[in-house]
Amino acid sequence: MSEWWTYSLSDFLMFSSRSYYRLIESYNAAIWPAHVLALVAGIIVIGAIAQPRQHLRRSAALVVAAAWGWVAWAYHLERYAEINTAAPYFAAAFAVQALLLCWLAFEPGNAAPAPQRVALGMTGLAIFAYPLLALTRDGGTWRQAEVFGIVPDPTVVATLGLLLAWRAPAIFWLIPMLWCLVSGATLMELKIGHAWLLPALALTAVVARIKVRKTPCDVNSTANPRS
Amino acid sequence: MSLTFPSRRRRLLKLLLSVTGGLALPSLHAAPALVPLLTRPIPSTGEQLPVIGLGSWITFNVGRDPQGRRESVDVMRQFFAGGGRLVDSSPMYGSAQDVIGEAVQALKPARLFSADKVWVGGGARGVAQVEASRKLWRVPRFDLLQVHNLLSWDEHLPILLAMKREGRLRYVGITTSEGRRHAEIEKIMASQPIDFVQISYNALDRDVEQRILPLARERKIGVIVNRPFRQGDLTQSLAGKPLPGWAADIGCTTWAQALLKFIVSHPAVTCAIPATSSVAHVRDNLLAGTGRMPDETLRKRIAQDAERLA
């Protein structure tokens, strides 16, 4: 792309907020009642953070990996690609993250770290509060609710909580952080009121991760069969 | 280049019939005006083209959403009923080409002027892309094909010019937006036998007045103007600001009409292509192509007032 410095974010936005939320609405309608399953999956993830045991950790990592894989295929590739030519690349990135999370599930870690309030809060927000954001927008309805495991943003936020709780290495953070930037910029260009939320949560997760790095794992509080 | 009214009786009758047809539909589809759209000759052939066209960037990229598609068809129905002809799109615009094709199939517009673009690296891939685009549009051939943002223009232009010579295409052009690569645009305008150049121009972004618009007149190249409202930012920032007194002199009741009249009254401009997903807006835009146009003095005042108030 020549004269790349002359391009602004708005030059890459190829759809309106109306088309974007209608896409989410029709997608929600098409896969209902998968949302109930997604909610159950979300509760498993919260449980794994609240009760840091190895078998729960594995189940949660697999649940989140499945969510990333589903979003890659059902959302990015099958839906979002209709209005965004970059969506196949997003799908590829989400598929890679799904594989990384599978690896995390079977990684012989030393211990499942103790739960942290930030991690729990972030995952809880992604699973219970994120769907309600639809109601805060002008013209938004519950039919456009963004649900963990169904659409990218809450899935990514819940994953950040999980990665934070498990003190996951940097490689697991790369794609979620990039998505926070991409989606935050998209929502900003669409002039959505809560566009700041995703980048703010990403920043919070990074700061919390840096802080927990300085504190040792509470090995004694875990029931890790391998330790 | 002068503005002319379509004078043939048959054309007027057609317009009146389309208006009558429009009135038979719900009020949403009411025809914009009984006054015919002003036209401008395409410099290379003299063919008359209405000064208001229809863009499709963002607005027609609605995916498979049935409601979005219905609304897009309504916009195009209103556009054709009001005398509009030129619809512009690109393979870069997501589902817009297919949405236009659906409307073309449903409405069967008698006088569509189909303007699309090539947007891919490499000449051979361009040929395949043009054919894919043509199928999406559901047209036997394009009226105008433009090299989008000058991407691989040196490979695409010879192919498009050959298509024109063979009668598989009527016009050839190049595009840019937001004031990019104007030096290269000028070079191509000066050296290649193109029919159209598409550029961004509005009451606030007037760089093209210096070199590109005069060069277009000199080289007899038609000018299509994109982003006449800065993608809606201009009309939004002027919303609620009272129209100055001069607006009534040129029959404008909205800022959108005044801003469009500013553009299409430039003697080098062939047409402007505002994009919209609203039937009310397309009606408003079409009104800008009717009635009195501002003279040079008034054009300067429109630009000054837009700068002051936006």
- Summarised one tens digit per residue, pLDDT across range B105-154 is 999 999 999 999 999 988 789 999 999 999 999 999 999 999 999 999 99
In chain B, alpha helices (H)? 9-24, 66-81, 96-107, 123-137, 153-165, 182-191, 212-218, 233-238, 246-249, 255-264, 279-287, 296-309
Q: In whole angstroms, give the CA distance from residue A25 to residue A21.
A: 6
8 Å CB contact between B125 and B152: no
Q: What is the pLDDT of residues B14-40, one digit of tens each?
A: 444 443 333 333 333 444 445 789 999
Sketch the domain layout of chain A as residue ranges.
15-214
Domain tally, chain B: 1
User: Are B94 and A84 a contacting pair at CB < 8 A?
Assistant: yes
User: Is residue B179 in some structural domain?
Assistant: yes
> If pLDDT is split at 50, 70 and 90, which confidence band does B9 have?
very low
Instruction: Specify the pLDDT at position B131.
Output: 97
Model ipTM value: 0.83
Chain pair A-B, CB pairs under 8 angstroms: 53
User: Is residue B246 in some structural domain?
Assistant: no
**Stronger pLDDT, B179 or B132, i.e. the higher one:** B132
Kindly report the nearest CA distance between residue A135 and chain B, in angstroms. 21
- pTM of the complete model: 0.86
Q: What is the CATH number of the domain that holds B125?
A: 3.20.20.100
User: Are B65 and A16 a contacting pair at CB < 8 A?
Assistant: no
Q: For residue B134, give its domain range.
A: 39-229+264-292
* Cβ-count burial B111-133 (b if 16+ within 10 Å, e if not): ebbbbbbbbbeebeebbebbeeb
Which residues in chain A are contacts of B94 at CB distance < 8 A? 14-15, 82-85
Which residues in chain B are contacts of A9 at CB distance < 8 A? none
Task: Compare all CA atoms of chain B with the CA of A85 and give the residue at the minimum distance.
Answer: B94
In chain B, % of residues over pLDDT 70: 89
User: Are B63 and A2 a contacting pair at CB < 8 A?
Assistant: no
Q: What is the pLDDT of residues A115-163, one digit of tens each?
A: 678 899 999 999 999 999 999 988 899 999 999 999 999 999 999 999 9
Q: In whole angstroms, give the CA distance from residue A21 to residue A17.
A: 6
Range in A117-126, B185-194, B217-226 the model is least confident about: A117-126
Task: Compare all CA atoms of chain B with the CA of A22 and give the residue at the minimum distance.
Answer: B65
8 Å CB contact between B286 and B257: no
Residue B162 CB neighbours (<10 A): 12
User: Is residue B148 in some structural domain?
Assistant: yes
User: Is residue B240 in some structural domain?
Assistant: no
> Sign of dihedral through CA atoms B225, B230, B231, B234?
negative
> Please, what is the average pLDDT of chain B?
90
Instruction: Specify the pLDDT at position A112.
Output: 56
Which regions in chain A score pLDDT beneath 50? 110-111, 218-227
**Nearest Cβ partner for B63 among A2, A13, A19:** A19
